Amino acid sequence: MAIGISTVPGELQWQRPLPMKLTYHISKIHTIKSIPSDEISAVFQRSFNRWSQVIPVEFIETEEYKLADINIGFYHPWDDWKSIAYTVYNPKKEIRFRARLNWTVNIRGDDLTSRSFDLEAVAVHEIGHVLGLYHSLNEDSVMYKNSLGVMDLSVEDVENVQALYKSQRFASPSLLSWLKNNGVYVAVVE
């Protein structure tokens, strides 16, 4: 099952001076009851932080729907039977999740059933679209078109988003891989 839309790489990236601040709003109306709202908020904070660790973009949650750069919600009825989530550009960016699915938190790999979806893994993927990234053919990438529960950004994910947001690229993929494996991310504006 697809988890996002395809976009032209970089076409939909944010066009603001760096470092950049973007606000996001999680709907209190379009929500689900299976996960408490504070836990949903924590999932999105972690998901946005994964990206802000590698690019000079800070994401700030706001209660102001109309003022938010990015709106997030869970919806039914669902107009796209193939997707579990997708990103809308209208011109605001909106991440929509299918409300009637079994959303889980902190469930990895083999623990996922065909009837459950890890909210954080899907959120990280959709945020990649919000930033302007295209689907990847790499199954280890969070931008892979089908959810496999991947939450950690791959070397490819980092290099692609840093290219869009003009962050200093690391000298080699092996250095980036070593830094990633040791929990170190650096984002520097060129």
Task: Write down the pLDDT at residue 83.
Answer: 83
d(CA 43, CA 157): 19
* CB of 157 closer than 8 Å to CB of 133: yes
Is 140 labelled a binding residue?
no
Is 79 labelled a binding residue?
yes
Q: What is the DSSP letter of 167?
A: B
For residue 82, CA distances in Å to 86, 106, 111 come to 10, 24, 22
* CB of 62 closer than 8 Å to CB of 25: yes
Task: Write down the pLDDT at residue 80.
Answer: 62
Is 76 labelled a binding residue?
no
For the chain, 190 residues long, give each residue's pLDDT as a single digit of tens.
Answer: 344 443 444 457 888 888 999 999 999 999 999 999 999 999 999 999 999 999 999 999 999 999 999 999 999 876 666 788 988 887 789 999 999 899 998 765 555 555 788 999 999 999 999 999 989 999 999 999 886 678 899 999 998 999 888 775 444 455 455 555 655 554 433 3
Task: Write down the pLDDT at residue 82.
Answer: 73
pTM: 0.81
Strand, coil or helix: what is 17? coil
**Fold topology of 20-181:** Collagenase (Catalytic Domain) (3.40.390)
Task: Write down the pLDDT at residue 4.
Answer: 42
- Catalytic annotation, residues: 126
Q: Structure tokens of 87?
A: 């990103």
Is 129 labelled a binding residue?
yes
Is 135 labelled a binding residue?
yes
